[in-house]
Amino acid sequence: KKRLSYAQKLDVAEHSVARRLLETAIAKQTNLIASADVMTTAELLDLADKVGPHIVALKTHIDIITDFDPDSTILPLKDLAAKHNFMLMEDRKFADIGNTQELQFSYGIYKISNWADFVTSQVIGGYDSLNCFRNVGVVAILGMSSKGTLTDAAYQAEALKVAQSHPNVIGGVSQKQIPEELLLFTPGVSIAETGDGKGQQYNTPEKVFADLQTDFIIVGRGIYKADHPEAAALNYKIAGWNAYTASL
Ligand code: UP6
């Protein structure tokens, strides 16, 4: 046995969000998370509808949207998530004290707690800073994909301890393998590119499944910048699923 399958992880997963992710991955045969780093509501909804059938979750940076409005952005996005059976992952990368994160999570214009199924958070604020995310799943940022990141081995080891011990945490973002009881989310994935000239570093789906035994690949520009985002999503879905089955 080289790694646990999604079904085996589902057997032991306790968090409802982790369970739904694994169930969705199995049902749709996809480990692809599309990162929708687009600037308008129209582009966001168009992308979500096109790639929806092929993804397990749509990752947002909701604060990039220039015309955000809860009724015209979030309500239709939630409808598309239900229509295509994908989850909503807000990549907020919270990085403050618990009280501030609690405010950022539920207030302001985005009211993330009203709609996100799970969020990313740095763990730089320590264990208690994650307590406010009790109604969602947290994906802890353990290591980053960018060149020169400060998340060195010592930081990652300490961040992992927080992630492993906190009941709200379902997994981590990392470029390294992590213990199997946490779900691993890996951005910096591209079939065609190795970098973006702005510090991003890419690996192929094959490499992140073979080397890291990741669970979910996160693809942004490889999909939303493609001439045909739907075809690109299908391509990444197939590449990700084949890489996963080859790693079993
Ligand atoms: N992301 C990374 N690396 C990390 C953490 N998060 O790239 O370590 C996020 C970015 C972006 C997406 O914020 O939304 O994943 C990657 O986009 P790309 O595929 O277009 O490079």
Q: What's the chain's average pLDDT? A: 98
Q: Which residue has the tokens 């009724």?
A: 71
Cβ atoms of 191 and 221 within 8 Å: the answer is no
Please check the confidence at residue 57 and state whether its pLDDT lies above 90: yes
Atom number in ligand 1 closest to CA 202: 21
What's the complex ipTM? 1.00
pTM score above 0.95 = yes
Burial class (CB within 10 angstroms; exposed 0-12, middle 13-18, buried 19+) of 111:
middle
Q: For the segment 110-161, what is each residue's pLDDT rounded down to a tens digit? A: 999 999 999 999 999 999 999 999 999 999 999 999 999 999 999 999 999 9
Dist. CA 143 → ligand 1 center (Å): 12
Residue to substitute in 147, 200, 202 for testing ligand 1 pocket (most ligand atoms within 8 angstroms of CB): 200
Nearest to 188 by CA among 207, 164, 170: 207
